[in-house]
Amino acid sequence: MNRHLLGKLKPALNALPTNLRLSLETILENNFKGFFSTEQVLYLKAAVGDAMDEQTLLLTLIPIVAAYSTPTISNLKVGAIAIGESGNWFFGANLEFKHLPLHHSVHAEQSAISNAWLAGEDGIKTIVVNYTPCGHCRQFINELTTAKSLELILANDNGLFTDFLPCSFGPSDLSISDNLMSKQEHELWTIESGLLVDHAIEAARKSYAPYTQSYAGVAIKFRGGAIYVGRYAENAAFNPSLSPMQMACSQAVLAGEVLSDISDAVLVEAKNGVIRQQESAAAVLKAVCNAKLRYVLV
Ligand code: THU
Ligand code: ZN
């Protein structure tokens, strides 16, 4: 864990019961990248023993997740854990961009869901969050493969997601039978080469854009050498869609990176799509670092 991340997490870590804190620190110091594997979940459950059931453990860990938040405008630290179909627990935190229109913000729930999707999950069983999910997030969640069975765990309320969004509008209203987190493999090719382009095109192939066919992916590289990707995640209600640049930035923050350390960035998008990410992605990048966006239409 780098010093920057340790500084952010320290107060939340110190507030945990000792056994849990020690076990968690062991995990965090071991190349932690923003989620607990099922083995690590068992290790944390063993640390608390009978003192906490699973729901209590999840809610106890939420302040740690919320510490990853970057609320440069609102000062509101939102943390979410998405439990994938595999049983892995994925972190998510809200991310705000100073000087940009508010619609670029990433909500904690979106951050946790994209974290799970990028790790190869194909559905979410449960979402835990420290504030009541806003309408925008409910709409985003409604796009998921598992929207009908998903459980929400809130600080003082829980239940089936569908009870939190009655009379919903979704993909079927636009005659789309696909869902977010279903396997995507779009045929996209380019003669451009290079490690970052390869990562970005792979993200674009796996992106979800059933309403525009504007498949898009971003790869960002940091001064320390690490690379993170984001895939475009479209939404039936259009506005809650998550751009590939927002998703890549969220992933990097969950891995403990500082966005001003981005040294290179590539956006790949499908030329046959009906919308373009280029200007929006460049605006987000410009707001956080000095690197210039490289752009590849495929
Ligand atoms: N926020 C979330 O992350 N999730 C919600 O569902 C509620 C709102 C964030 C978005 C923004 O960064 C801040 O809280 C204020 O709305
Ligand atoms: Zn929200």
Contact 194, 248 (CB under 8 A): no
Q: Does ligand 1 have an atom closer than 6 angstroms to the CB of 235?
A: no
Residue 1's pLDDT is what?
Answer: 78
User: 218: which strand partners?
Assistant: 230, 267
Q: Does ligand 1 have an atom closer than 6 angstroms to the CB of 108?
A: yes
Q: Does ligand 1 have an atom closer than 6 angstroms to the CB of 107?
A: yes
- The two tokens of residue 135 are 């309408």
Output the residue whose Cα is nearest ligand 1's atom 15.
Answer: 74
The ligand whose atoms approach the alpha carbon of 139 most closely is 2
The ligand whose atoms approach the alpha carbon of 78 most closely is 1
Q: Does ligand 1 have an atom closer than 6 angstroms to the CB of 96?
A: yes
Q: Does ligand 1 have an atom closer than 6 angstroms to the CB of 131?
A: yes
Which residues of the chain have a pLDDT value below 70?
none
Report the residue among 134, 164, 165, 249 best suited for mutation to probe ligand 1: largest number of ligand atoms under 8 A from its CB. 134
The one catalytic residue in 54, 96, 109, 279 is 109
Output the residue whose Cα is nearest ligand 1's atom 4.
Answer: 107
Per-residue pLDDT tens over the stretch 282-294: 999 999 999 999 9
Residue 2's pLDDT is what?
Answer: 83
- Cα 277 to Cα 82, 130, 175: the distances in Å are 27, 31, 24
The CA 77 to ligand 1 mean position distance, Å, reads: 8
Whether 279 is catalytic: no
Alpha-carbon torsion, ordered 71, 238, 133, 163, to 10 deg: 180
Return the number of other C-beta atoms located less than 10 Å from residue 74's C-beta: 12
Per-residue pLDDT tens over the stretch 138-148: 999 999 999 99
